[in-house]
Structure 1
Amino acid sequence: MPKVVRAGAVSHVGRVRSNNQDSGFIGKHIYGVADGMGGHAGGDVASSIAVKYLAEQDQLFDTVDDAKRGLTEALLQANTLITDAVDEHSELRGMGTTADLITRVDDEMVIAHIGDSRVYRFHEGQLEQITTDHTFVQRLVDAGRITPEEALVHPRRSVLMRVLGDVETNPDVDTYVVPAVEGDRWLLCSDGLSSYVEEDQIAEVLARTVESSREVADDLVQLALDNGAPDNVTVVVIELGNRPLEPMRSRIVGAAANPLKYASRAPRRVKRILPDVLQSSRRLAQLPEREEFVPPSDEFLQQLIDEERKRKRWRRVTWLVATVVLLAVIAGAAMLAYSWTQQQYYVGAYEDQVAIFQGVQATLGPWELSTMIEETGISVDDLPAYQHMQVTSTIPFSSLEEAQALVERLEDAVKH
């Protein structure tokens, strides 16, 4: 049966943020990522508490059911630890974190998921998103109210419906079971990657032959930075096979890699050990929160859906107004252009006679932009060769008087 033969983890603060609120880890059997939320003094603490505790729970499960239950319980316990930290430090109220865990049990991969960090499987050249985002816009996509493309630019795309934190005492955790296949690569990532890098670009990187999974992780993070990712970026990449490809070493990256002496099994020690983290965090410049959590109640969901309807109505009205304004501008420009043409004149041939026309010698669809306004009685064939060529080709003027003056000169040329 396939095993995890190599793994890599990388976390980067991104191009805009002043601190890293993401955390990730590689264990011997369990791998995970967490994306903190709750402001500059809370998000990094939440993801650190979660990942430090989860990394300590690294173990090999005997059965798939044991793994599903064990990963879920680990996330729920991490949720309790975050809540206890908030009880001791009220300034952290509202902090939370997403979390994704994955482990192998025989020939199955077991995943536990909450939030909008993602787990992808790269299998036989195809990238597949395994987890479903716990976001408001994903609810709208699932309900057929918006398209996945619209979700990418939706103003509420950062509203999370489920997280670990003091906002819920017993959050729902999704679990997935997927076959473990030799040669597959698995990617766990925060939305700093998935929000700024297209899936075909991710697949291209995962398809490369490399010396280590760390190199793949580095390339993915660099791709997000090249695309201008302002948010923190964290990726964990693991590869399945039948023989070891590189030494497997446990590793923690991101906020959780910083010195935070928090005993996950003794949460009441939080007051004594968190101040070092909080003190450094308070010195950071305040940035807008990247994500917000809302209770997953039917009432609030309906409120957001009503808001989405209003937004769509307003967008339709805006498009209608813009269309009317555009048509008005086009019509106005057309009227001005037509008015200008009717102030022009030219001398030309009309049924073998010299005539004066008002307008310009052109058509707009089925409409002529000139009309004959004066017949002169002068035969075109009686004109000297040069004047004959000019009249046949038409001679433009900016006033009727100028055109009439030419006709008088042509009359004199014919008489002589």
Structure 2
Amino acid sequence: MVFEGSSVAISHTGKVRSNNQDSGYSGANLFVVADGMGGHAGGDVASSIAIHRMEPLDQVYASTDDAQASLQAAATTAAGDLIRAAKERPELAGLGTTLSAIIMVDDYAVIGHIGDSRIYLYRDDALTQITADHTFVQRLVDSGRITPEEARYHPRRSVLMRVLSDMDADPELDMFVMHTQPGDRWLLCSDGLSGVVDEAHILKAMRMGAAPGRTADTLLKQALDGGAPDNVTMVLVDVGGQHAISSGTPTIVGSASNPANITIPAARSALSNWLHPVRQAANEPSHFEPAPEYLEELIEEDRRRAKRRRLGWIAGMLVVLVMLGIAAFAAYSWTQTRYFIGADDDSVVIFQGVQQNIGPITLSTPLRDTEILLADLPEYQRLSVERTITARSLSDAEAIVARLQAGADAITSQQTQTPLPTPVPTPTEGAG
């Protein structure tokens, strides 16, 4: 049965690279994205070879098993083509490509995947990443050593562990079958999209419910607004739903849209590289497939980086604690330059510090008991002392105490000078 749905394929060079190493295919039953690697020429050739080897698979299959077998066979043939291309053209050595493909068979999607291009499924208002990246950082995520957010910015995020290349004649694709239903929307994309536009923004674009072409344009604009440091390629596929059924005419985008006889750009001269360093850097491979022995060095390097991060975190915390300690000591030292007059039990006391406390920490201590009794003070002075009197300095505190002493002395003197009342004699009974 021919797949019923609508689809679109688009590819853009991006804002940094001068050539497009991505390729995409959207047909009647087959949908593919390939992201080439290998420098200025190799990436173009690799993704084009992969797409042209996949193209004959765009047909009706009797079963999902037949589709899986055809997909694996085509990938193996493509790997053989890459090996021959590298032998015939030594300048292409190291070329390779990712491959993410869907073959629709009745109500099923047959999926084949290798590399770090991705396949997403938008269903029931939720976006799910269907494929797993075959990258060094994804292995670190799977082992719990880094978080997915850390993986987005990891310096080794472009190191591929599995890829179609000239170094493996028998590539190992992730192969699985998923049931589809009307309303499903599948997104196949290179990391030029997924590495710039996060899943939250992809989901928002999907929720708009626009046709595949309009949605693809929205996502491309977001990637370009985000800087688009790499080529951006995507294929959107709707299963049934509200959008018109496509004619099934194949659409090929990116480097695979060039004629079959791919023109290999001439090697750049040393003078050209010197005059155009930015353009030269832009044509460097965006992915790197390591040799087996290199992986151990990457793992060891990551261990060292993790250790440095821990040491840096500890050092940072120590610096913060020291700074907090210095600030606390400076603040406490400042409080000890302040004075106030207060009451301690029944007498007037000069305190050093401030009246406030921080939890169990007291910011004041008694400096001198003046031995002036509260009971000897005039009422207004006694109330002032009980509420505390702030002094600007120790000498100011001594002056305040002197005034309080004078007030107490005045009260005592007044009580001493007042004569006692004369007692009135009591009449004696019977006197006359």
TM over 0.5, shorter chain: yes
Name the TM-score class by shorter chain.
0.7 to 0.9
Q: 1:383 and 1:18, CA in 2 relative to 1: closer, same or farther beyond 3 A? A: farther
2:349 counterpart (330, 334, 355): 355
Q: Are 1:340 and 2:334 an aligned pair?
A: yes
Q: Are 1:262 and 2:260 an aligned pair?
A: yes
TM-score between the two structures when normalised by the length of structure 2? 0.82
> 1:8-407 counterparts in 2 under 5 A?
8-55=8-55, 58-210=58-210, 212-241=211-240, 245-257=245-257, 259=258, 261-263=259-261, 273-275=263-265, 284-287=279-282, 289-295=285-291, 297=292, 300-380=294-374, 382-383=376-377, 387-388=381-382, 390-407=384-401
Which secondary structure does the structure 2 equivalent of 1:137 belong to?
A: helix
- Separation in structure 2 between the aligned mates of residue 109 and residue 71 of structure 1, nearest angstrom: 12
Q: 1:79 and 1:121, CA in 2 relative to 1: closer, same or farther beyond 3 A? A: same
- Separation in structure 2 between the aligned mates of residue 408 and residue 58 of structure 1, nearest angstrom: 105
Is residue 3–residue 29 contact of structure 2 (8 Å, CA) maintained in 1? no
Q: 1:349 and 1:308, CA in 2 relative to 1: closer, same or farther beyond 3 A? A: same
- Separation in structure 1 between the aligned mates of residue 238 and residue 20 of structure 2, nearest angstrom: 26
Q: 1:388 and 1:233, CA in 2 relative to 1: closer, same or farther beyond 3 A? A: farther
- Separation in structure 2 between the aligned mates of residue 344 and residue 226 of structure 1, nearest angstrom: 58
Note the alpha carbon deviations across 1:352-397, whole angstroms, 9 max, x for none. Answer: 4322111111112112111111122334465556655543443333
Q: 1:371 and 1:96, CA in 2 relative to 1: closer, same or farther beyond 3 A? A: same
The higher-RCO structure (CA 8 Å, 6+ apart) is 1
**Bigger mean CA deviation after superposition, 31-40 or 286-295:** 286-295
- Separation in structure 2 between the aligned mates of residue 328 and residue 249 of structure 1, nearest angstrom: 69
- Separation in structure 1 between the aligned mates of residue 12 and residue 388 of structure 2, nearest angstrom: 73
**Aligned AA (1:157):** R
Is residue 18–residue 285 contact of structure 1 (8 Å, CA) maintained in 2? no
Deviation at 1:7, TM superposition (A): 0.5
Which has the larger Rg? 2
**Aligned AA (1:6):** S
- Separation in structure 1 between the aligned mates of residue 380 and residue 81 of structure 2, nearest angstrom: 100
Note the alpha carbon deviations across 1:235-269, whole angstroms, 9 max, x for none. Answer: 10111228953433321222333x4x434xxxxxx
Count of residues in Structure 1 that have an aligned counterpart in Structure 2: 402
Q: 1:386 and 1:374, CA in 2 relative to 1: closer, same or farther beyond 3 A? A: same
Which secondary structure does the structure 2 equivalent of 1:132 belong to?
A: coil
Which secondary structure does the structure 2 equivalent of 1:59 belong to?
A: coil
**Residue 416 of structure 2 corresponds to which residue in structure 1?**
none
Deviation at 1:55, TM superposition (A): 3.3
Q: 1:204 and 1:56, CA in 2 relative to 1: closer, same or farther beyond 3 A? A: same
Is residue 192–residue 223 contact of structure 2 (8 Å, CA) maintained in 1? yes
- Separation in structure 2 between the aligned mates of residue 152 and residue 364 of structure 1, nearest angstrom: 44
Note the alpha carbon deviations across 1:316-345, whole angstroms, 9 max, x for none. Answer: 222222222221221222122212222222
Q: 1:384 and 1:233, CA in 2 relative to 1: closer, same or farther beyond 3 A? A: farther
Which secondary structure does the structure 1 equivalent of 2:121 belong to?
A: strand
Q: 1:87 and 1:405, CA in 2 relative to 1: closer, same or farther beyond 3 A? A: same
TM-score between the two structures when normalised by the length of structure 1? 0.85
- Separation in structure 2 between the aligned mates of residue 403 and residue 17 of structure 1, nearest angstrom: 76
Alpha-carbon RMSD? 3.0
Deviation at 1:161, TM superposition (A): 0.6
Is residue 262–residue 274 contact of structure 1 (8 Å, CA) maintained in 2? no
**Aligned AA (2:281):** Q
Deviation at 1:274, TM superposition (A): 2.0
Is residue 2–residue 182 contact of structure 1 (8 Å, CA) maintained in 2? no
Is residue 107–residue 181 contact of structure 1 (8 Å, CA) maintained in 2? yes
- Separation in structure 1 between the aligned mates of residue 201 and residue 89 of structure 2, nearest angstrom: 42
**Aligned AA (1:166):** D
- Separation in structure 2 between the aligned mates of residue 145 and residue 277 of structure 1, nearest angstrom: 41
**Aligned AA (1:123):** R
Deviation at 1:305, TM superposition (A): 3.3
Q: 1:2 and 1:365, CA in 2 relative to 1: closer, same or farther beyond 3 A? A: farther
**Aligned AA (2:229):** P
**Aligned AA (2:126):** Q
